[in-house]
Amino acid sequence: MKGDYQDLVDEISALLGAPATLENRDFGLIAFGAHDSEDDSAMDPVRTRSILTRKSTPAVRAWFEGFGITRATGPVRIPAAPDAGVFRDRICLPVRHRGVVLGYVWLLDAEPGPSHERLGAAMEVAARIGDLLADEERAGADLSRELRATLTAERGWQYDMAVTALRTALGPDAEGLHALVCLAPWPGEDTPSPRTVPGAAALCTVPWRPPAGAPPTPSAPEPGGGGRGGTSRGAAGRSGAGRGAARQPAGSAGRSASTAPPGGAAGAGPGQESVTGRGAAGAAPDPGTGPGAGPYDPGSARALAALVRLRSADNLSPAATAADRLRGTAGPAAVAGIAGPRRGLADLDVAWREAASAARAATAQPHLGPLAEWSAIGPYRMLTALPPAEPDPAVRALLAPAHAELARTAEVFLDHAGQAGRTASALGIHRQTLYYRLSRVEQLTGLDLDAGEDRLLLHMALKAARL
């Protein structure tokens, strides 16, 4: 970027035949041209101080601004003032972008001075400098307040006002392609600078409600009796589970050739996925929501939202790159969700719900994360859209901490389309142990795992419990 400024300053120097300097609107030096003159007056005290210290004094700034340079739209000639340390006349070219002054190009003036045509050409170069300064200012701007207001406002006039404010702050970028990224949990409330995140147009922190954690896996064998409601029939013979297998009494099927105590904490075999800390049974909050965090405090948990520029709607790699950079800052516990791409800001609230849903799904189902796109989370697109609710009465007993292993068995069974062989292999248990556990699930819930709607209810309830 600095090289671009230097090239443009040199272009103006060549156009007007005089060395030029570029300062921002606060009179901080950005670039200056070479001085090859032997005239000592070419380096008066004001010019020397500006180059050596890269800034001007408040008195010098006030003196120059007294000539109306902050309001000017064209070249301003400023006479010499030896008492102020200005030995030579100056020409000031205001650098503006969309009517806002962002800096000044300074040149030494001498008779007869540059022509009107050359000054016009130099002002065109100054306008290009203004575009660069505006781009750099937007890239480093802290738009967290505007983005947060947009993501947290309800649809209506408040949302419309928030979108308008964000659109104004982003300038032309606002109408481009974007994707929202949700990274959670985010440690603390500090928002990183957009300059540190590739492609980020704006970032902010927002409150975050993480999925519920899981109870510890029970270590004692479950009693073999019947539960609330339901029947005591065995699971053998049910669709996809017991067909072709010998029927056995519910109380003995799991003990005949089991690799673990029936209904208890069956051994973690190959491919077994622990639910501890991931919310399979929807119980107590997870005590570790961030690096070094203590017990979960609903009032302090936060997520980070990042609005990332895209080059094309079918390429989300800029959003994925930004998410990876942010995860490196947040720590290994953080996951990221990416919303579908959108042009403009009108549906930013919808995009945020998508990104947050993808992050929640990645937290609940590790195989979806640590980076999940909303388009790839399957049934969680619907489940995360549902309002928080108490578990369905039919599955409430199954979701108790004491039955965490049964809940997990039922979920894996349904995830594998009711295929007993694949389920038993995934759990690392014997088929007879699986049949016993499924019969216990039926006893606890009163549901018939041969019935499609009962299976659907149980599957949805178990997935929702993770959220």
Q: pLDDT tens digits for 215-231? A: 232 333 333 333 333 33
Angle at which helix 404-415 crosses helix 452-466, to 10 degrees, equals 120
Summarize pLDDT for 170-191 with one digit per residue, the tens. Answer: 887 889 999 999 999 998 777 7
> For residue range 94-136, what is the model confidence (pLDDT) as tens digits?
999 888 889 999 998 877 788 999 999 999 999 999 988 887 7
**Burial class of residue 173, CB neighbours in 10 A (0-12, 13-18, 19+):** middle
Segment 199-217 shows an average pLDDT of 67
pLDDT of 33 above 90: no
Q: What is the CATH number of the domain that holds 459?
A: 1.10.10.2840
Whether 267 and 297 share a structural domain: no
- Of 348, 383, 418, the last residue of a domain is 383
Whether residue 285 has pLDDT greater than 60 = no
pLDDT at 271: 32
Comparing 92-101, 258-267, 345-354, 356-365, which segment has the lowest mean pLDDT?
Answer: 258-267
Give the pLDDT confidence score for residue 420 in this predicted structure: 86
**336 strand-pairing partners:** 183, 371
- pLDDT tens per residue across span 442-452: 888 888 888 88
The answer on pLDDT for 258 being more than 50 is: no
Q: Is residue 225 part of a domain?
A: no
Query: What CATH number does the domain containing 28 carry?
Result: 3.30.450.40
390 compared with 314, residue with greater pLDDT: 314
- 169 and 296 both lie in a single domain: yes
148 and 124 belong to one structural domain: no
Per mean pLDDT, which of 252-266, 338-352, 418-432 is the most reliable?
338-352
Rounded to 5 degrees, φ, ψ at 351 are -60, -35
Same domain, 6 and 121: yes
Structure tokens at 399: 């979701």
Is the confidence at residue 249, as pLDDT, over 80?
Answer: no
| Residue from 20, 343, 399, 70 nearest 180 by CA | 343
pLDDT at position 42, please?
Answer: 52
In a domain, 218, yes or no: no
Of the pLDDT bands very low, low, confident and very high (cuts 50, 70, 90), residue 211 is low
Statement to judge: residues 132 and 198 lie in one domain: no
Residue 172 lies in a domain: yes
What is the pLDDT at residue 232?
Answer: 34
Mean pLDDT of 278-290: 32
Peptide bond before 370: cis, by omega within 30 degrees of 0?
Answer: yes
Whole-number pLDDT of residue 201: 87
What mean pLDDT, rounded, does the chain reach? 75
The whole-number pLDDT of residue 342 equals 94
Q: Does the pLDDT at position 214 exceed 50?
A: no
In terms of domains, do 402 and 413 share one? Answer: yes
Task: Identify whether residues 66 and 78 lie together within a single domain.
Answer: yes
Q: Domain range for residue 49?
A: 2-140
Residue 50 covered by a domain: yes
Residue 194 lies in a domain: yes
Of 67-76, 300-309, 378-387, 420-429, give the lowest mean pLDDT range.
378-387
Whether 229 is in a domain gets the answer no
**Claim to verify: residue 9 and residue 111 sit in the same structural domain:** yes
Reported as type and span, the H/E element at residue 317 is helix 317-330
Q: What is the pLDDT of residue 261?
A: 31
pLDDT value of position 93 = 95
Task: For residues 402 and 361, state if they share a domain.
Answer: no
* Domain finish residue from 383, 416, 433: 383
Measured between alpha carbons, how far is 123 from 426 in angstroms, rounded to an integer?
71
Give me the number of domains the chain comprises.
Answer: 3
Position 259 in a domain: yes
Pair 158, 39 in one domain:
no
pLDDT for position 85: 67
Residue 36: pLDDT above 80?
no
Determine the Cα–Cα distance for residues 354 and 358; give it in Å rounded to an integer: 6
> Which tops the pLDDT comparison, 7 or 282?
7
Question: With bands split at pLDDT 50, 70 and 90, how would you rate the model's confidence at 371?
Answer: very high
- Is the pLDDT assigned to residue 168 strictly greater than 60? yes
pLDDT in tens, 142-163: 788 899 999 999 999 999 999 9
Q: Domain boundary at 88, 106, 140, which?
A: 140
Does a structural domain hold residue 240?
Answer: no
Pair (181, 307) in one structural domain: yes
What b/e string do you get for 261-277 counting C-beta neighbours within 10 Å, with b at 16 or more?
bbbbbbeeeeebeebee
**348 and 373 part of one domain:** yes
